[in-house]
Homo-oligomer: A and B are copies of this chain.
């Protein structure tokens, strides 16, 4: 999608080790009118799917998910990073490893908020190795809900997470897929 590619080229900052910073429009300062346009694209991709709920994970996915949810007219459920080893029976839990922070978080949702009547769209800002998205797919499976698919703002194709999810049969709609960095130059998948 040209809109996101153009913005990454204009405002993204590339650092050694395949790090892309988009703090200035996506995950610290959020350019909400711009994200709204991107969410229109997500809506077009999934509008026939009778989505009942959008699932995301704290923190930077929440804003994007809420803007998209206005178009689908559905609620957002956000998975929380558990602060304590929570042993409650009322929760679905999964583990998500963060390569950025080098730790593993237990991620939870309350059982009452997702069930077999739901048709879920997963939304997140980044898809790299796929750890967060795979965790969310696991939570949907535990709940018995149907998974319509996922939508992400930026997929780092070279880290393989998106293609692994597609190979598992998960529909993944990415607004930009980066296949490589060549110095400062960003190579997008066409």
Contacts and interface: CB of A to CB of B under 8 A. Distances in A.
Interface of A: 23-25, 28-33, 35-36, 58-60, 62-67, 69-70, 73-78, 80, 83, 101, 109-110, 112-113
A181 to B, nearest CB: 23
Contacts of A31: 75
A114 to B, nearest CB: 9
A32 B80 contact: no
How many copies altogether? 2
Given A29-B77, A32-B74, 5 more contacts: A31-B75, A32-B69, A60-B62, A63-B76, A67-B70
B67 A28 contact: no
Contacts of A29: 75-77, 110, 113
Given A83-B101, A110-B23, A30 B63 contact: no
A106 to B, nearest CB: 15
A112 B67 CA distance: 25
Given A58-B58, A70-B36, A70-B70, A28 B80 contact: yes
B63 A66 contact: yes
A54 B160 CA distance: 35
A84 to B, nearest CB: 9
